[in-house]
């Protein structure tokens, strides 16, 4: 299957066209946020404080990039395990986040929230952080600099490779893969 080129922020039409298993090349702006940043964002939402960036329509990449070497925009920027963000996912989606990028499967609660809030979950290849970093053209810390690698960064990406794992229709790439395996094993 040929990759679909998409641009962030994602609009409703694009999200409706994305189904589990579809390879994509993402261009535009995405934000990094891992566990500690998610915790702070959720606390700010609870306290009705101003957020460091507008969540509505954004794509969050579960990554904590390593420092950039001289002459580079960013260091290795591979995905982290998405399951650690599951506790925060429903609230982040309710606040307007439309896409997430990480690795691994999601909890049923996160998958249901993805469907409910008409969002999408992409997976990126774990262990390929140096390769993924080549798609990142600009990286700027926008919040929580004290968190070091886990600070929130605004990334400008060009053809960032990912695959749709969960779509708005309730499909799950991991479940599809297991079903296909069982079918082939007979």
Weakest-pLDDT range from 5-14, 36-45, 62-71, 134-143: 62-71
Can you tell me the mean pLDDT for 126-153?
A: 93
| Average of per-residue pLDDT values in the chain | 94
Can you tell me the mean pLDDT for 143-171?
A: 96
Condensed to tens digits (0 to 9), the pLDDT of residues 76-112 reads: 999 999 999 999 999 999 999 999 999 999 999 999 9
Q: State how far the Cα of 37 lies from the Cα of 88, in Å rounded to an integer.
A: 10
Ordered structural domains, the chain, with CATH: 4-185 (3.20.130.10)
Phi, psi of 146, rounded to the nearest 5 degrees: -65, -15
Which is higher by pLDDT, 175 or 41?
A: 41
Condensed to tens digits (0 to 9), the pLDDT of residues 54-82 reads: 999 999 999 999 988 898 999 999 999 99
Can you tell me the mean pLDDT for 127-143?
A: 92
Q: Is 5 one of the annotated active-site residues of the chain?
A: no
Contact 100, 62 (CB under 8 A): yes
Q: Which of 38, 40, 103, 111 is catalytic?
A: 38
Which is higher by pLDDT, 76 or 127?
A: 76
Can you tell me the mean pLDDT for 139-161?
A: 96
Query: Quick one: pLDDT at residue 184?
Result: 73
Q: State how far the Cα of 119 lies from the Cα of 166, in Å rounded to an integer.
A: 9
Query: Quick one: pLDDT at residue 147?
Result: 96
Q: Is the pLDDT of residue 156 over 80?
A: yes
| Burial call 147-175: b when 16+ CB within 10 Å, e when fewer | beebbbbbbbbeebbbbbbbbbeebbbee
Residues facing 53 on adjacent strands: none
Which is higher by pLDDT, 174 or 80?
A: 80
Can you tell me the mean pLDDT for 147-156?
A: 95
Q: Is the pLDDT of residue 12 over 70?
A: yes
Q: Is the pLDDT of residue 126 over 70?
A: yes
Would the pTM of this model clear 0.85, i.e. be above it?
yes
Q: Is the pLDDT of residue 181 over 70?
A: no
């Amino acid at each position: 299957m040929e990759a679909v080129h998409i641009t962030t922020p994602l609009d409703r039409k694009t999200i409706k066209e994305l189904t589990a298993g579809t390879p994509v090349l993402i261009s535009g702006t995405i934000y990094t946020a891992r566990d500690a940043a998610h915790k702070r964002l959720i606390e700010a939402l609870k306290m009705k404080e101003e957020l460091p960036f507008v969540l509505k329509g954004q794509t969050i990449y579960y990554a904590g990039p390593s420092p950039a070497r001289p002459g580079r925009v960013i260091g290795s920027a591979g995905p982290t395990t998405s399951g650690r963000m599951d506790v925060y996912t429903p609230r982040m989606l309710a606040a307007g986040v439309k896409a997430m990028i990480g690795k691994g499967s999601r909890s049923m609660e996160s998958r249901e929230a993805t469907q409910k809030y008409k969002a999408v979950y992409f997976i990126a290849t774990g262990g390929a952080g140096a390769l993924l970093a080549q798609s990142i053209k600009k990286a700027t810390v926008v919040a929580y600099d004290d968190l070091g690698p886990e600070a929130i960064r605004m990334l400008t990406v060009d053809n960032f490779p990912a695959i749709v794992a969960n779509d708005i229709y309730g499909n799950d790439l991991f479940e599809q893969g297991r079903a296909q395996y069982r079918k082939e094993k007979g």
